[in-house]
Amino acid sequence: MSVDSEDNEPLFERFDEEDGQDGPDGEELADFKAQVEEWVKLDDQVRKLNVAIRERRTQQRALSSAIQTFMLAHKYDSLSTEKGAQIKSNVRKVKAPVRVVDVRQKLIDLKGDAEGGELIRKIWDEDRAVIEKKSLRRVIPKVHMHLDL
């Protein structure tokens, strides 16, 4: 279990003598130990599952790229899967993110030409490049249960 670094006394055996309180009795201590052991076991499982999830996400990203490239090349917007879900591909044009380096360079280039508000409006709205963003998602149909009585 956890050990306190000051006096190397196990945490679950410590109690505060200065407040006049007694430590936990044997049954409470046994329950506490069991809870801590269960928590540690669950934490280990969560950590292992997170590693597995990361690995699967990496594989899914690689497959997503290949699937989306195929869908875009053959002009498929959506695919129906055997289980009733759909895979939809979307391409949209959005403004490129503003980088501090770009803002600084624009301010240097446009310094005397406009006042603060006009200059910021130019930088944020007018002169930003438009880029494409792609997304791929799985749509699972909702189950509707209607009871006709």
* Low pLDDT (below 50) residues in the chain: 1-9, 12, 15-18
Q: What is the pLDDT of residue 4?
A: 42
pTM above 0.85, yes or no: no
Asked if 36 and 3 count as a contact pair (C-beta separation under 8 A), the reply is: no
d(CA 3, CA 12): 9
What pLDDT, on a 0 to 100 scale, did the predictor assign at position 89? 92
103 Rama sector, left if φ>0, alpha if ψ -120 to 50, beta otherwise: alpha
Distance from C-alpha of 2 to C-alpha of 38, rounded to nearest angstrom: 14
- The type of residue at 56 is R
What is the residue extent of each domain of the chain? 6-75, 77-141
Q: What would the pLDDT profile of 15-31 be if each residue is shown by its tens digit?
A: 444 455 677 888 999 99
End-to-end CA distance of the chain: 59
Query: Would you state the pLDDT for residue 2?
Result: 46
